[in-house]
Each structure stands twice: as structure tokens, then as C-alpha cells.
């Protein structure tokens, strides 16, 4: 953020909060600041019609505060639609902590963050996201019950990432069925971008199925680790977006499908875990549709994690978690068919159904 003082005219042009595209009628945004621990966090509560706003906390070294605000707004909005399309009684929320997770994350900072979450009295429930671990959630649990994704030995459902990966795998298979007429991924070339918690677990499913897996990550150690464990190929080029491949699986950060990449992508299918893969949902979704690239909507196929943490609130068991996650295959196929029949982008088709669920509940609630 620039340190210069902007004139009222300049500020009015920016409309930093309510005027942001990503604001999209957020119910509440909470800015959390604590000098002693260095905590700077933003909690976005997008919509609570279906239930409390549940969504993970991301810790990232944002270039500036605008970027952090924009990220949390985009992410919390996405959570609203993710829970709605998955049929969960949850609203959408998300939090970001500004800073380097490796250097600046301390138990004191996490506890202070937990206290801010607690002050919202359950309207927002947190979980892990990029830069967070199950152990961090355990620390948050010390100061608030409004946290999910805590360790199994502390009564939680544990790390949600393997379940997220399984859901992405199901969504990818559904997209393959739609595109190729078969959901078998054997011999398909799949590029997994980002081999963190979810990416690695996805690699395992793909390798077991006989796919030809290529991985990329900014973390060189992780690349070597995953390569030696699964015998996959490390991407050696410098433009993954121009590479011929069957399936592109974005599993790092969002907005990788943008003005610079959308015309270069040569994949038949895009199916990955990252949230908000389309920089501009309408524009880039439409370009993918026109180019014949099947895009499996991110918020639909990466819902395994939220299904897993929801189990902690609803007390359902592993079998039910797996059944609900496996069902992502059917939902994805339905949405892809629906988009084709109605000549919509796949993203819009999914969004319409999610919005309709929220509107229906709103009408019921107001009776
Ligand atoms: P993670 O932090 O464990 O892994 C992210 C990986 O991406 C890291 O290895 C990082 O080095 C790498 N990365 C970052 N920038 C990159 C770049 N430009 N190119 C290549 N690699 C890059 O995070 P995760 O939990 O595996 O989540 C991955 C994505 O999936 C995120 O967008 C997250 O929001 C989303 N997601 C995760 C879950 C979950 O259950 N963890 C659920 C839903 C969605």
C-alpha cells in the first residue's frame, strides 16, 4: 500500500472496500490488528444465510494490503458458493493473515488471531488454508471453539487436504468422462501445479491410476521429495501454460487462468484444488468454453476439505465424509451437462445452482 496521503477525490475513485468487484455484498469484514504479536489479519464474512460462515485462514506474504483484502473477499465469497453447491448448512467466510508463515507465525500470533475469531461468537468458524497446519488449528482451539480441522487426537477430523485431493480427483474423473467418454486417467498427461498438502495427495491418486504426472512448484525441496516418492517428472520448462497436456491441475494459488495465460493453455481439461482459478469468472470462463476446454469449477471440486471439517460440527463419520466427497463426481458431471445444454460456462452453471439454494433458504427463513 502506498504511504502517500490520497485526496478525497482520489480515494473516491478507488472505493477500496464496498466498491471492490470482489466485495459482492459481503455481510461483514473484520480487520484485526495486534501490535505485540505483529498480527495483521482480515476476516471476510460473505454470507450467513445457510449457516455460520466457515472457511480457512491463509497466511501469505502479500505484496500490499489491497492484495490481501482482495484475496480474502474473493476467497470468502467462494466459500459461500462452495458450501451451497455441496449442500452444507454453512455460509461463506475466510481469513487472511498478512505475513510470511515460515518466518512470522508464532503460537502467540495464532492465539491472538483465535481471540479475534472468538469475538465473533461463532458467526465465523475458521480452519486451515495455505500457510497453516493442523497444529496451528490446535493452537487456535486453545482460545476458541470456533475452529475446525483440529487434530484427530483432540477430537477433530484431522488434516482436510487428503479429502480435498480425493474430491478433486473425483471432479477430474468426471471431467474426463465428459470430455473423453471415459473417466479412466491412465496414460493421460496431468500437470499438477503446486505440490503442497493437496497437490501431493492428488499426485498419489493420479500415479495409482497410471496417469503420466508432471509436477511444478516454487519450492525446489518439495519437488525433489515428491519426485523421489512417486517417480513423477519435474517440469523443466519456464511456461507451464503453453505446454501441451491433457489435464492441467492448478493446486497452488488462484487466478492462474488470466489474460496472459487463457489463450495459451493447451489442456483439454482444467481441474484442480486452487480456489478462484479464473481471474475473471465471466470473461475467462467464456474464453475456456469457446476454446473447448472443460473447466471443472474449483469451488465445486475442491469441496472435500469443507466436507471433512463440517463433519466435526455435525459429528458424522469417515464413511459419510468419503461418500459425500465421492459424490463430487456426480455433481460435476451434472453441472458439465447442465452447462452444455444451457450454453453456459461451467462456472456460471455451478454458480446458478448455488445461488438458487441460498435464495430458496432466504425465502424459507423469512416466512
Ligand atoms: P499448501 O500451502 O500446502 O501448498 C501450496 C503449494 O503451492 C506449496 O507447495 C507452494 O510452494 C506452491 N506454490 C505457491 N506458488 C506457486 C507457484 N506460483 N507455482 C507453483 N507452485 C506454487 O496449500 P494446500 O493446502 O495444498 O492448498 C492448495 C490450494 O488448494 C490453495 O489454493 C488452497 O486455497 C486450495 N484448497 C485447499 C484445501 C485444503 O483442504 N487444504 C481445500 C480447498 C482448497
Task: Please write down the HEC assignment for all residues of 129-162.
Answer: CCCCCHHHHHHHHCCCCCECCCCHHHCCCCCCHH
Question: For residue range 4-60, what is the model confidence (pLDDT) as tens digits?
Answer: 565 667 656 767 788 777 888 999 999 999 999 999 999 999 999 999 999 999 999
Say what the pLDDT of residue 160 is: 86
Ligand 1 atom showing the smallest separation from residue 252 Cα: 7
Ligand 1 atom showing the smallest separation from residue 298 Cα: 44
> In this prediction, what percent of the chain has a pLDDT beyond 90?
84
Question: For residue range 260-315, what is the model confidence (pLDDT) as tens digits?
Answer: 999 999 999 999 999 889 999 999 999 999 999 999 999 999 999 999 989 888 88
Q: Does ligand 1 have an atom closer than 6 angstroms to the CB of 251?
A: yes
Ligand 1 atom showing the smallest separation from residue 131 Cα: 2
Check if 25-76+91-154 and 161-355 are the same fold: yes
**111 belongs to the catalytic site:** no
Say what the pLDDT of residue 18 is: 84
Distance 197 CA to ligand 1 centre (A): 7
Residues facing residue 92 across a β-bridge? 47, 54
Angle of helix 281-290 versus helix 346-365 axis, rounded to 10: 140
Distance 41 CA to ligand 1 centre (A): 19
Say what the pLDDT of residue 193 is: 98
Distance 250 CA to ligand 1 centre (A): 9
Q: Does ligand 1 have an atom closer than 6 angstroms to the CB of 275?
A: yes
Q: Which CATH architecture has domain 161-355?
A: 3-Layer(aba) Sandwich (3.40)
Q: Does ligand 1 have an atom closer than 6 angstroms to the CB of 305?
A: yes
> In this prediction, what percent of the chain has a pLDDT beyond 70?
97
11-20, 216-225, 243-252: least confidently modelled range: 11-20
Q: Above 50 in pLDDT, residue 340?
A: yes
Question: For residue range 116-145, what is the model confidence (pLDDT) as tens digits?
Answer: 999 999 999 999 998 999 999 999 999 999
* Residues 247 and 267: beta-carbon distance below 8 Å: yes
Higher pLDDT, 313 or 101: 101
> Per-residue pLDDT averaged across 184-203, rounded?
97
Selected catalytic residue, list 40, 94, 173, 324: 94
Distance 66 CA to ligand 1 centre (A): 21
pTM: 0.90
Q: Does ligand 1 have an atom closer than 6 angstroms to the CB of 61?
A: no
Domain range annotation of the chain: 25-76+91-154, 161-355
**Would you identify the CATH topology of the domain 25-76+91-154?**
Rossmann fold (3.40.50)
Amino acid at each position: 500500500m502506498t504511504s502517500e496521503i490520497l485526496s478525497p477525490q482520489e480515494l473516491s475513485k478507488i472505493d477500496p472496500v464496498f466498491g471492490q468487484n470482489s466485495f459482492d455484498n459481503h455481510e461483514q469484514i473484520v480487520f484485526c490488528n495486534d501490535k505485540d504479536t505483529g498480527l495483521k489479519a482480515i476476516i471476510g464474512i460473505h454470507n450467513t444465510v445457510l449457516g455460520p460462515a466457515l472457511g480457512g485462514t491463509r497466511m501469505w506474504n502479500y505484496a500490499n494490503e489491497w492484495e490481501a483484502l482482495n484475496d480474502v473477499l474473493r476467497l470468502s465469497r467462494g466459500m459461500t458458493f462452495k458450501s451451497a453447491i455441496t449442500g452444507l448448512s454453512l455460509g461463506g467466510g475466510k481469513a487472511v493473515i498478512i505475513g510470511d508463515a515460515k518466518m512470522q507465525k508464532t503460537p502467540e500470533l495464532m492465539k491472538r488471531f483465535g481471540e479475534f475469531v472468538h469475538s465473533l461468537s461463532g458467526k465465523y468458524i475458521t480452519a486451515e488454508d495455505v500457510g497453516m497446519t493442523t497444529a496451528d488449528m490446535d493452537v487456535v482451539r486453545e482460545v476458541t471453539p470456533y475452529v475446525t480441522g483440529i487434530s484427530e487426537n483432540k477430537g477433530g477430523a484431522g488434516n482436510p487436504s487428503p479429502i480435498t485431493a480425493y474430491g478433486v480427483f473425483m471432479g477430474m474423473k468426471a471431467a474426463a468422462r465428459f470430455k473423453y467418454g471415459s473417466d479412466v486417467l491412465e496414460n493421460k498427461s496431468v500437470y499438477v501445479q503446486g505440490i503442497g498438502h493437496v497437490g501431493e495427495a492428488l499426485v498419489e491418486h493420479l500415479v495409482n491410476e497410471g496417469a503420466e504426472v508432471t509436477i511444478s512448484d516454487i519450492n525446489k525441496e518439495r519437488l525433489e521429495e515428491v519426485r523421489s516418492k512417486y517417480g513423477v517428472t519435474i517440469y523443466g520448462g519456464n511456461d507451464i501454460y503453453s505446454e501441451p497436456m491433457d489435464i492441467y491441475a492448478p493446486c497452488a494459488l488462484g487466478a492462474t487462468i488470466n489474460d496472459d495465460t487463457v489463450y495459451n493453455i493447451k489442456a483439454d481439461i482444467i481441474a484442480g484444488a486452487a480456489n478462484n482459478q479464473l481471474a475473471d469468472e465471466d470473461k475467462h470462463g467464456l474464453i475456456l468454453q469457446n476454446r473447448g476446454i472443460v473447466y471443472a469449477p474449483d469451488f465445486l471440486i475442491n469441496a472435500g476439505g469443507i466436507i471433512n471439517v463440517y463433519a466435526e460440527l455435525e459429528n458424522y463419520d469417515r464413511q459419510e465424509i468419503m461418500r459425500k466427497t465421492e459424490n463430487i463426481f456426480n455433481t460435476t458431471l451434472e453441472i458439465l451437462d447442465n452447462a452444455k445444454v444451457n450454453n453456459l460456462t461451467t462456472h456460471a452453471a455451478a454458480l446458478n445452482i448455488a445461488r438458487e439454494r441460498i435464495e430458496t433458504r432466504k425465502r424459507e427463513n423469512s416466512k
